[in-house]
């Protein structure tokens, strides 16, 4: 075992605490190894669990009342993290809607705010040493409080097997739920945007994920054999209502999640590239986010200028990579966000969709700011809106450099 | 009417001839307006029509036997155009698989080859003056034969209404199929990769496309309520077999089209941005291509290095734009292709997919060249393959510039 | 000759009028060909010519007093066009500081403002049909007033030789300066940022430009053999003073021009790629801009975060291309500007430079917002600011994907 | 002190050995700390030092004859590393020609080749734990031999002050040159492409580097007051001759270095961003490389298609960053190289330059593959090569989306 980095110097540490077995063990381990005062922070990010039991458990483990922090962050999460990200149509490696990645900076931000408030000198989290989450948490910590001490127990301790973890829990009177004694067949993260599963039964990428892995959506096969039609309303790039009913960001995402869930929408089985250098396989469920992503692209399709849209598309992979890698709180993410946000001023209007057995089908889009001009595009007589003769000059000058190349012996764009 | 550009000087013109009413009128119009010898070229690109009738019709319209050219280009089209494009995972504006765009350069290339062979000084096509296809045809013409004369009848003539077109046809004894007398409710392009529909009933982007528009796929709703499981084999980035059966490129795409069609896969209703500056609405069906795209991404997910994949992703929008805009035969497309092709040397292996009512679901991927290392990613004890302690230094140095920024007063990556 | 597009319909036209022979001929030609009321607009953009004579000449040619517009735009030009562009360190094709390109949108903007004010339905300019300036003027016109009629005489008229131009001038009593009777050996554009020369004696790219071409700078060879040392002060990305003296944007650029001129700084002999598809050769002089560009990069080097700087660098070529091609008034330029401007909040401080016979040498930079940390970088003992051991983990995880590749047989990053 | 990572297991280690004091101490330290057999590798990369003394010293320190490796890598360095990089016009952060960065992968490659040959299980280098070089060496090691053990003494040992280093040397009978007893006022790296200086007297970025720092070039002020004119010949993107004399890559670079040196060309004083997260200040001298870079851009300016050139420009910052960060042996660098190399097929011809007191001035370029068409660009009558009327359609369709935007209320490209 390596010597914990800052073992002597930590006085008070803010732990991202879920109330589950692992973070309860961490809590105790921080107390015993670092002899530090532990402050717990538990957030409701829409993971679908009550916060009450976590509070109870923290008390039980000896945390002082003033050191127990709980927050309902669902609105902030959706409004200030999910929605800005969706303005960029972010997808990591062509598919992944970044549900886990986008939650980490907010948790880290609250931990640091609490650390400043209670005068803590350290923060701690329960992410492992192989994954991306440790990076996302810690980069955010350092960016927000550069002198903070970071304790990542999974990288430090010797509780490297389930048996030893359970043993440590028993030795320290940490209650253990019955179903937590054995190894879990996979590991789960959830919030209002998505659920992800990794590990164990998912480790062989040739094997199909067992149905039990999917917890947030019904299978397309089991989804009802009927079409659900909905309309989503957008204002300046953000969704603001469904079927004419104005909703808060979190309420809107919650409703889209319900719609997606029952229609088998938003499953993804992906082998992805982690920032730490290895490939991993994940099973993701983003029911509402999948619908929202499709709808956002559709409203942009009639309201965004071509080059504005293409500029966004060309920078999207970079933006998604930044969020995946944990650089939400970075100058470069802020710069790209400034660019993206500037583009959304006119992205207002409605999108109509059909949801059906895994499919999200756009069937209509309209906007007071539409740039779609039927007058120009029509196959009918256009009363002079567009002069077809212009196309000749347009083509000839676009082709001129290629003609000059061909005259110089480089036909067909050869080099 | 504007004076046709080169009216006096054209001697022999190679026309991209489908055998349909429009290109038959063009044929006659070229003869009468330009007094030019017309050479017809008709290609089988998998559009699903026999070439025989086009030959008959060309003869009927007075084209000499040696001036009638027909080619089955399905293999060349798939092998040298579709597959290279799929190596880049090209999608225009996030969704469109470029089925029409990719066929134009090949038709143009054959027209120019024929022009060189028969000593023609001009080429002609039936694309309108508002669309992208005129650009794609003509840029390819100019890049391949910089001194060629290009005749684009739709930009030149005065047959601007259906009535006048029919009248011209009647005056010149061009046979008119009964169903062609009236206006078509939409316009169609088809080849082995896709079918597209545009215009008329599709012009209002708030209205759902009528079912009649979809000609190449069944609706997800009407697709059978059963899962079809298939495996696609890849070698060096290209699909080479299905379910263990080795197939030529065109045969493989044909089979995927059948599989996609019956499972309701590959429909897209899109408002897109044309190169000529307006937005238009199209209904696209790319059944086999949709499956192929998904499978290609999946085989890359285990065989391609992270940064290789991200580099491709970052340049994909530019590559797709080039093809959409008609720059297949350009130095920049060739350079990007060289980069993409270089990346595919190890993209070999198998992908297993479930097809079900519009869904293409990856359920497994494996490869002799897999970079996925279970040893590294495992939640189990990894026998030292990965030292979790390394993550600390990795994170700390990745965060250093942000910490220095925060120390200088710019917390959280502020600028 | 082609029929002028809108010959019948133009009532009042705002002409970008320099007072020179060419635009005087255009003025008269507009009156006679279009029978239109002509409004002249003459701007001081720092080209180094008095506006008075242009006014006189306009009167002489029969322009009504209320139709003669003159503006000193030097401050607006520098503040709202040159400085924003320099925030992005824009250089076209690696070298060119875009002196002509950046002036056109401002002239066009004022023409349109005047057109709106006087109720003109058309605008006109004196740029030729082969160059970039016609594109820059007209794209700006259309973007600002989409229904405007544009008259580009050089593309329309038949005064295609110097002889005929002179003859037309004589027929219409246009005064002709003696030195304008013959062909000019090259063509010049100038404003506060630069002077450019093109054509004739410069057309052979193997021949060195004759010294007469350079009008704005002394040759490095002739510059004094002494070093001039200056300091430039920046605030939020813009230069605000020289040697401690606070100056307005235009005054600052004027002073830098004088410094650059006498020290032989800012000459460029370039073969560049025009937007219209051909290569051309230009001789550019940007004395003050060259110093400013170097200084701006230097102040950014200590105040800008690495990834912020790299993001800017990666988008700079695209931004420069947009300005070169005439897309200043476009959504994509505005989006990139929003990104760049966001980055400049802390770009404040001082840069010291030596100017010497063509060289601009940075010798020092300092800032209250400096991110340069001597404590971290020092070769001396750093009291724990940086833990060298972190580098091991940083390197190992950065190398992990390459190690996994090598284990799979792809050594040295082979594909 | 931290425990050296692999202390028990190292049997034989290949050390990048310069023969200087530092690497001699490392040699001894490896023997004593790791009890390992040390193999020395000394390369001539054009750093301007004889290899003989290093051999002597290795013998003196007890290295067996068969364990002493020396190579003259100047040709390989220039041909396979420098020239490919110059094909991309690589400059890090807008200025730096990457002289140190590009040498590291070659040294690492040879070390690994030697390790394979002699059956060594480890490699070692003398780079510090704060810099980029450690990263460049080690990433190359791992990419080429994924199971190699890496020993970076500066990160491990406790010889953290000059005093202790000297003391260790004395204790182990390592000869110490007189001028090495005190602290050097700065640290130097040199090879055929450049010399760099860092640290100590350079650490304050507001202070001008003392003249003593510059070792490779005379000052522009001291350079002779006369113009030297040269011609450089290129073939397929690489320089192959000077003034008509064909030269090997290394001979050519050597000659350009001499020309640059005497004319005061290639100095750079830069604050740059290191990969490990801090800013540092360097003084670089790249005399020949600066001339070569300018000349290469000039020959490209007439032989490369516009979009080919712009594509290269847009990816250059990424490519330069890869090399700076140490990813020469990576799939992404290879992919970008494939793209760049593909572009150079026609980059053949001559460039004429004037060298004068720090200035490198292009005065002419010509090529059998020139794409510059005087016929098209001329101000004179062009006999129909270019139809100015085409520009109208070109502009109108390029502006169409902006006009549609303005009609929708978004004037001037507003969003």
Q: Is residue D314 part of a domain?
A: no
Do C214 and C289 belong to one domain? Answer: yes
- Same domain (yes/no): D26, D165: yes
Best residue in B381, B412, B414, B415 to probe A by mutation, most A CBs within 10 Å? Answer: B412
Does the distance separating the beta carbons of A370 and D415 come in below 8 Å?
no
Question: Is C133 labeled as catalytic in the residue annotation?
Answer: yes
Mean of pLDDT values over D14-22: 95
- Residue D379: pLDDT band (50, 70, 90) is low
Provide the percentage of residues in chain D whose pLDDT is more than 90. 88
Residues on chain B touching C344 (C-beta within 8 angstroms) = 415
* C196 and C124 inside one domain: no
Task: Return the bridge partners of C92, or none.
Answer: C96
Give the closest of D394, D404, D407 to A393, CB-based. D394
C13-47 residue pLDDT tens:
999 999 999 999 999 999 999 999 999 999 999 99
User: Can you tell me whether residue A281 is helix, strand or coil?
Assistant: strand
Of all residues in chain C, what percent carry a pLDDT higher than 90?
88
| Contacts A–B by Cβ distance under 8 A | 328
Q: Residues D196-212: what's their mean pLDDT?
A: 95
Measured between alpha carbons, how far is C374 from D205 in angstroms, rounded to an integer?
Answer: 9
* Confidence check: pLDDT of C179 > 90: no
Are the beta carbons of C139 and D398 separated by less than 8 Å?
yes
Collect all residues with Cβ–Cβ distance below 8 Å to B268 and sequence separation of at least 6: B95, B96, B97, B282, B283, B284, B285, B286
Provide CB contacts within 8 A for A191, sequence distance 6+: A45, A46, A47, A77, A99, A100, A103
CB contact at 8 A, D148 and D6:
no
**What is the rounded average pLDDT of the residues A84-104?**
98
- The distance of A304 to chain D (nearest Cα, Å) reads 8
In this structure, the answer to whether residues A219 and A360 fall within a common structural domain is yes
Same domain, B232 and B362: yes
Which region among B19-23, D293-297, D375-379 has the lowest average model confidence (pLDDT)? Answer: D375-379
Query: How high is the pLDDT of residue A313?
Result: 98
**Number of other CB atoms surrounding residue B297 within 10 Å:** 22
The pLDDT of residue D375 is: 83
A80 is known as an active-site residue: no
pLDDT in tens, B264-298: 999 999 999 999 999 999 999 999 999 999 999 99
pLDDT (0 to 100) of residue C8: 53
Active site residue C44: no
Query: Sign of the C-alpha dihedral, residues D115, D119, D121, D125?
Result: negative
The three state secondary structure string of chain B is: CCCCCCCCCCCEEEEECCCCHHHHHHHHHHHHHHCCEEEEEEEECCCCCCCHHHHHHHHHCCCCHHHEEEEECHHHHHHHHHHHHHHCCCCECCCECCCCCCCHHHHHHHHHHHHHHHCCCEEECCCCCCCCHHHHHHHHHHHHCCCCEEECHHHHCCCCCHHHHHHHHHHCCCCCCHHHCCCCCCEEEECCCCEEEECHHHCCCCCCCCHHHCCCCCCCCCCCCCCEEEEEEEECCEEEEECCEECCHHHHHHHHHHHHHHCCCCEEEEEEECCCCCEEEEEEECHHHHHHHHHHHHHHHHHCCHHHHHHHHHHHHHHHHHHHHCCCCCHHHHHHHHHHHHHCCCCCEEEEEEEECCEEEEEEEECCCCCCCHHHHCCCCCCCCCCCCHHHHHHHHHHHHHHHHHHCCCHHHCC
- B148 and B290 share one domain: no
Contact D371 A401 (CB under 8 A): yes
Q: What is the DSSP secondary-structure string of D80-141?
A: IIIHHHHHTT--BTTTB--TTTTTHHHHHHHHHHHHHHHT-SEEE----SSSSHHHHHHHHH
| D227 and D119 in a common domain | no
Q: Which of B205, B227, B314 sits opposite A364 (nearest CB)?
A: B205
Look at residue C379 in the predicted model and tell me its pLDDT: 65
Containing H/E element for A319? helix A306-325
- In angstroms, the CA B134 to CA B243 distance is 40
For A308, which of C278, C308, C332 is closest by C-beta distance?
A: C332
A136 is in an annotated binding site: yes
Q: Which of D305, D389, D402 to mutate to test the interface with C (most CBs of C within 10 A)?
A: D402
**Residue A132, annotated as binding a ligand:** yes
| CATH number where D270 lies | 3.90.1260.10
Q: What are C234-290's pLDDT values in tens digits?
A: 999 999 999 999 999 999 999 999 999 999 999 999 999 999 999 999 999 999 999
E-assigned strand segments in C119-250:
122-124, 149-151, 187-190, 195-198, 228-235, 238-242, 245-246
Per-residue model confidence (pLDDT) at position A161: 83
Does pLDDT of A7 surpass 70? Answer: no
Q: What does the pLDDT look like over D311-361, one tens digit per residue?
A: 999 999 999 999 999 999 999 999 999 999 999 999 999 999 999 999 999
Domain annotation covers residue D75: yes
Average pLDDT, stretch B242-268? 98
Residue C319 lies in a domain: no
Among A142, A277, A305, most D C-beta atoms within 10 A, so best to mutate, is A305
Domain of B110 in residue numbering reads as: 12-92+101-180
- For residue C70, which phi and psi values (nearest 5 degrees)? -135, 140
**Residue D397 falls inside a structural domain:** no
A21 in a known ligand binding site: yes
Residue in C115, C151, C140 with CA at minimum distance from that of residue C3: C151
Q: For B155-184, what is each residue's pLDDT tens digit?
A: 999 898 888 999 999 999 998 888 777 778
ipTM value = 0.96
* Residue B378 belongs to some domain of the structure: no
pLDDT in tens, B338-376: 999 999 999 999 999 999 999 999 999 999 999 998 888
In this model, does residue C185 exceed pLDDT 90? no
For residue D166, give the CATH number of its domain: 3.40.50.620
Chains that touch B (3 or more CB pairs under 8 A): A, C, D
Residues D362/D351, Cβ–Cβ less than 8 Å: yes
- C328 contact residues in D (CB cutoff 8 A): 413
In a shared domain, residues C272 and C291: yes
At residue A183, the pLDDT reads 76
CB contact (8 A) between residue B346 and residue C396: no
**Residues A236 and A279 occupy one common structural domain:** yes
Which chain D residue's Cα is nearest to A347?
A: D415
- Indicate the residue among A124, A146, A180 that finishes a domain: A180
Residues of A in contact with D314 (CB under 8 A): none
Q: How far is Cα C330 from Cα A305, in angstroms, rounded to an integer?
A: 9
Tell me if D333 is assigned to some domain: no
Regarding whether D136 and D117 lie in a shared domain, the answer is yes
Q: Is A16 annotated as a binding residue?
A: yes
> Which one, of A255, A250, A253, A266, lies nearest residue A217 by Cα?
A266
* pLDDT for residue A286: 98
* Domains: count for chain D: 2
Q: Are residues C260 and C115 in the same domain?
A: no
Could you say which of A124, A156, A180 is where a domain stops? A180
For residues B244 and B233, is the Cβ–Cβ distance under 8 A?
Answer: yes
**Whether residue C69 is found in the same domain as residue C168:** yes
In chain B, pLDDT over 90 holds for what percent of residues?
88
pLDDT tops 50 at residue A3: no
Chain C residues with CB under 8 Å of a chain A CB are: 273, 276-279, 304-305, 307-308, 310-312, 318, 327, 330-332, 334-336, 338-343, 397-401, 404
SS3 (DSSP) at A162: helix
Q: Bridge-partner residues for B122, per DSSP?
A: B13, B149
The answer, yes or no, to whether residue B8 has pLDDT greater than 70, is no
Residue A21 domain-assigned (yes or no): yes
Question: Active-site residues of B: which are they?
Answer: 22, 104, 133, 187
Task: Point out the domain boundary residue: C180, C210, C241.
Answer: C180
Q: Which chains touch D (3 or more CB pairs under 8 A)?
A: A, B, C
Split at pLDDT 50, 70, 90, the class of A1 is very low
Q: Determine the 3-state secondary structure of C342 from DSSP.
A: helix
Which range among B58-67, B177-186, C81-90, D298-307 shows the weakest confidence by mean pLDDT? B177-186
Closest approach of chain A CAs to the CA of C398, in angstroms? Answer: 7
Residue D338 lies in a domain: no
Tell me, what DSSP letter sits at residue A302?
H
Provide the shortest C-alpha distance from residue C178 to chain A (in Å): 37
């Amino acid at each position: 075992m390596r010597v914990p980095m800052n073992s002597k110097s930590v006085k008070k540490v803010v732990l991202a605490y879920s109330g589950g077995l692992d973070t309860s063990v961490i809590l105790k381990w921080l107390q015993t190894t670092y002899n530090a005062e532990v402050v717990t922070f538990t957030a409701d990010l829409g993971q679908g669990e009550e916060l009450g039991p976590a509070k109870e458990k923290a008390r039980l483990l000896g945390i002082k009342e003033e050191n127990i922090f709980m927050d309902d962050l669902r609105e902030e999460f959706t409004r200030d993290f999910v929605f800005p990200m969706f303005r960029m149509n972010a997808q990591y490696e062509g598919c992944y809607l970044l549900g886990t990645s986008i939650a980490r900076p907010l948790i880290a931000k609250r931990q640091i705010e609490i650390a400043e408030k209670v005068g803590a000198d350290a923060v701690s989290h329960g992410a492992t040493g192989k994954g991306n989450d440790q990076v996302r948490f810690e980069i955010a910590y350092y960016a927000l409080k550069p002198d903070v001490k970071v304790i990542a127990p999974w990288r430090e301790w010797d509780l490297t097997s389930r048996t030893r973890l359970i043993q440590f829990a028993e030795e320290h009177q940490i209650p253990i739920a019955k179903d937590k004694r054995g190894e879990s067949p996979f590991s789960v993260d959830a919030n209002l945007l998505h659920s992800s599963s990794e590990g164990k039964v998912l480790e062989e990428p040739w094997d199909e994920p067992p149905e039990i892995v999917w917890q947030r959506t019904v299978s397309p096969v089991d989804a009802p054999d009927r079409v659900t039609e909905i309309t989503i309303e957008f204002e300046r790039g953000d969704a603001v209502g469904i079927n004419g009913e104005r909703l808060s960001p979190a309420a809107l995402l919650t409703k889209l999640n319900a719609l997606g869930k029952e229609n088998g929408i938003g499953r993804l089985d992906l082998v992805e590239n982690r920032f730490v250098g290895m490939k991993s396989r994940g099973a993701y469920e983003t029911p509402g986010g999948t619908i929202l992503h499709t709808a956002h692209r559709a409203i942009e399709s009639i309201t965004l200028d071509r080059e504005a849209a293409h500029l966004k598309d060309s920078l999207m992979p970079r933006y998604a990579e930044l969020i995946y890698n944990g650089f939400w709180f970075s100058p470069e993410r802020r710069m790209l966000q400034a660019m993206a946000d500037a583009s959304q001023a006119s992205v207002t209007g409605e999108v109509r969709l059909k949801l059906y057995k895994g499919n999200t089908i756009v069937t209509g889009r309209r906007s007071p700011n539409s740039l779609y001009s039927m007058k120009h595009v029509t196959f009918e007589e256009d009363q002079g809106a567009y002069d077809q003769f212009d196309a000749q000059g347009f083509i000839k000058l676009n082709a001129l450099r290629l003609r000059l190349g061909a005259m110089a012996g480089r036909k067909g764009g050869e080099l």
